[in-house]
Amino acid sequence: MHYPTYRLSTQTTELLAVAGLQPLDVESLVLRAVTEDIESGVDVTTMATVPGNQRGRLLLVAHEVGVIAGLAVAAAVFDVVCGEDCEIAFAVEDGDRVAAEEVVLSVSGRTHDLLRAERPALNFLGHLSGIATRTAAWVEEVSASSARIRDTRKTTPGMRSLEKYAVRAGGGVNHRMNLADAALVKDNHVLAAGGVREAFAAVRAAYPDVSVEVEVDDLDQLAEVVEAGADLVLLDNFSTPDMIEAVHRVGGRVRLEASGGLSLDRAREVASTGVDYLAVGALTHSAPVLDIGADLVITGEE
């Protein structure tokens, strides 16, 4: 399939498409990131210190153990800045666990271009790899169970598709991408509709083909929405004993998702209750950036 772009290479475009990302959207985001650095003029430090005809190779190096995500996004930065002049080589793939001081990507081109692209590329790559690394830690904690780690819509504005991709790279699964993908009836909807059962019935009547998840606060509400026919029930801030009881009561009739107050040190305990998903907003809103740096090697002159 052909994906039209203005500045991205065929290699980068294809990698983004395989990752489930829209190349034009990524290109637009990258353009904004690059423009932030030069909207007031030029890179005065590089212009003053680096000969205009100098060429080099920039090595992107992980400075700590982690899971990589966003290599094609970083490549898109170099495509936008360098055009066809840069040669990009991937040393690993998204989803790979890397060791400290391992090279993940190298780019050859004009030193001026490499240094202008360096920070935006690292910002994307470090942020997305941080999400993938945090997700992988949660996935590892629940690996003895059948529970899956799932994200939320608590994402950085404008970055949702990239951040949810990073969750997938780390072994997690995505919840809805937007409000049209599925229904999630929460406390405010219940209040507005006049009750849990009423809210569920209203969504089912208006959108009969949409999957409906309903948030419940206690076991009494659980029985009500299960009887009503919910596809998935979100157990909001349930204690571990109440989760165990919820799993027992539904007997596999609906899927259950634990949410609220979850932490990595509780992940194994929660997964062992038999719930199907753990909803973890911290995957995207609180993941620390993976420390990735850039080392320049001078290769000659044009």
Is 236 assigned a catalytic role?
yes
As given in the structure block, the two tokens for residue 239 are 């204690």
Give the active site residue among 153, 154, 197, 255.
154
Identify the CA nearest to 279 among candidates 192, 182, 178, 152.
152
Catalytic residue among 94, 151, 215, 257: 215
| Helices and strands in the chain, H and E counts | 12, 12
CA angle 272, 250, 208 (to 5 degrees): 115
Angle between helices 111-141 and 71-82 (to 10 degrees): 170
Q: Which residues pair with 110 in a beta bridge?
A: 55
Across 268-298, b (16+ Cβ under 10 Å) vs e yields: bebbebbbbbbbbbbbbeebebbebebeeee
Q: Which of 186, 227, 295, 301 is catalytic?
A: 186
Q: Considering the candidates 151, 163, 213, 236, report the single residue annotated as catalytic.
A: 236
Active site residue 220: no
> Is 164 one of the annotated active-site residues of the chain?
no
Q: How many CB atoms lie within 10 A of CB 241?
A: 9
Distance CA 276, CA 279 (A): 10
Write out the catalytic residue numbers. Answer: 119, 154, 186, 215, 236
